[in-house]
Amino acid sequence: MRSIRRGMTGSGLRMVILGGAVGFLSVAVGVTGCALFQSEQVKKGKHLYEHYCMHCHGEHGRQNEGYNWAQMPDPRPKDLSNKGEMSTFKDEEIFNTISRDMKDTTPNVGDKIGDDEFAVPTMPTFKYTLSEDEIWAIVGYVRTLHGTKLAFNVEDRKKELDDKLKEVQGVFDQAKQALAAADKTAEDEADKAGKDVDDNATAKERDAMDKATKELEIAQAAATNFIKRPEFAPIPRPDLAMSADEAAKQAERGKQLFSNKYGCNACHRVGEAGGMVGPPLDRAGFRLNGTWVFRWVKYPQAMKSETRMPNLGLSDADAKAVTMYLTTLKAPPPEKPLGTVQKASAE
C-alpha cells in the first residue's frame, strides 16, 4: 500500500493503437468448448473479484464480511449471496453496475439520474480499469455467489464485435477506393481545363471517408477493449496555477465530487469517516504534490498497474477540482499512527 513513488512520470505507458486489425478477435479468442470455457471464465472472475471487490463485498458476497464493509458510508454493499434478490437482476444489469460512468449525485446541482439507473457513488466503476471480457468473467463469478450461472452468451458478444469490425472495415475500404477514384477524376479534369483541382468535386467522398474512419475507430476500440484493458495516453502535467478565490471554489466542488460522484470516501478516510482500502487522505495537503495527485487520480494504472484503486474516469475538470480539494487537507498528525507507519518528522 505504501509503495507508490511520487513524481513518477507515465513511463512504460502503452497507447491504444488503432491499426488495421480485422479478424484478430477470432484468432485471439477462438474458444468453443463451452463448459470448459465457462469454468475457466469463472476462475478468472474469482481471481479478479478477490483483487478488486472482496474488501467491500466479502469473500462470499455477504454483508460485513469484507474488512472495509463496516467502515464505509451508507449505503453499504448488500448481500451478493442472496439468491432471491440477486436473481431479479439480469446479467446485463450487473455488468452495467460494474462498468458505467460515475454520476454526480449532489442534490439539485448534480447529474440527472434516471429511476432505473444505478448511481451509488461508493460502488466504483471498473469500465476504465478492466477489459469487457474480464468484467463478464466477474459477473459470471458473482452469479456463483448466489448459486446461479451466467446466462449471457459472452462468445456471441465477441462474435458480434468481430462481425461489426469486419463490416465497418468493408465500408471503410470502399470509401477509400471511391475517394481515390474521385480524386483522380477531379485531377484529370483540372489538368484538361488547365485549372486548380476543385475541392468541392470530391467533398461527398471525403465526407463518407471521414464517417467511415470514425466508425472504424469506434469498432476497433470496442473490439480491442473486449480483450485488453483500457490504455490511455500519458497524462500531461496539469496547470494548477489559479487565484485564491478560484482555488477555494475548486476545492469546494472537489469535496462534493469526492463523496457524491466518485465515492473516494468508500476507500479513503478523511478525519473520522471513510473506508480503509487506501491510505487516509486527511494530511494529503502536506504529503502529496498536486501535479502528482492529478496524474494519479486520472490514471492510477499508469503508475501502478495492479493497484486496487480503479480508474474512475475523471474528466480533467473533475480531477483538477478533486486535486484542489486534497491540497486543502492538512489535519494535524494522528496521535497514533493509523494503519501505516508515519514518519515522526512528517511535519
List contacts with ligand HEC (CB under 6 A). 1, 3-4, 49, 52-53, 56-57, 75, 77-78, 80, 89, 94, 97-98, 118, 120, 122-124, 126, 138, 142, 262-264, 266-268, 275, 277-279, 284, 287-288, 293, 296-297, 304, 307-310, 312, 322
Within 10 A of 312 (CB to CB), how many other CB atoms are there? 25
Give burial (CB, 10 Å; 0-12/13-18/19+) of 294.
buried
Mind giving me the DSSP string for 312-324?
----HHHHHHHHH
* Phi, psi dihedral angles at 318 (to 5 degrees): -65, -40
Contacts of 236 (CB under 8 A, 6+ apart): none
**Smallest gap, in angstroms, from Cβ of residue 185 to ligand HEC?**
55
**Residue whose CB is less far from ligand HEC, 97 or 260:** 97
- Which of 75, 37, 36 lies closest to 56, judged by CA? 75
**Residue whose CB is less far from ligand HEC, 24 or 118:** 118
**Residue whose CB is less far from ligand HEC, 71 or 169:** 71
**What is the rounded distance in angstroms from the CA atom of residue 114 to the CA atom of residue 150?**
26
273 has which bridge partners?
Answer: 270
**Smallest gap, in angstroms, from Cβ of residue 32 to ligand HEC?**
27
**Smallest gap, in angstroms, from Cβ of residue 81 to ligand HEC?**
11
**Smallest gap, in angstroms, from Cβ of residue 160 to ligand HEC?**
23
Cα–Cα separations (whole angstroms), residue 78 to 54, 58, 60: 13, 10, 12
**Residue whose CB is less far from ligand HEC, 22 or 284:** 284
Local structure of 157: helix, strand or coil: helix
**What is the rounded distance in angstroms from the CA atom of residue 314 to the CA atom of residue 257?**
10
**Smallest gap, in angstroms, from Cβ of residue 99 to ligand HEC?**
9
**Residue whose CB is less far from ligand HEC, 138 or 219:** 138
**Smallest gap, in angstroms, from Cβ of residue 49 to ligand HEC?**
6
Within 10 A of 137 (CB to CB), how many other CB atoms are there? 25
**Residue whose CB is less far from ligand HEC, 172 or 294:** 294
**Residue whose CB is less far from ligand HEC, 38 or 96:** 96
Q: With contact defined as beta carbons under 8 Å apart, do 141 and 42 qualify?
A: yes
**Smallest gap, in angstroms, from Cβ of residue 335 to ligand HEC?**
19
- C-alpha 256: how far from chain center: 20
Q: Which helix (H) or strand (E) holds 191?
A: helix 154-193
**Residue whose CB is less far from ligand HEC, 169 or 260:** 260
**Smallest gap, in angstroms, from Cβ of residue 9 to ligand HEC?**
16
**Smallest gap, in angstroms, from Cβ of residue 241 to ligand HEC?**
20
- C-alpha 182: how far from chain center: 42
Q: With contact defined as beta carbons under 8 Å apart, do 303 and 235 qualify?
A: no
**Residue whose CB is less far from ligand HEC, 22 or 278:** 278
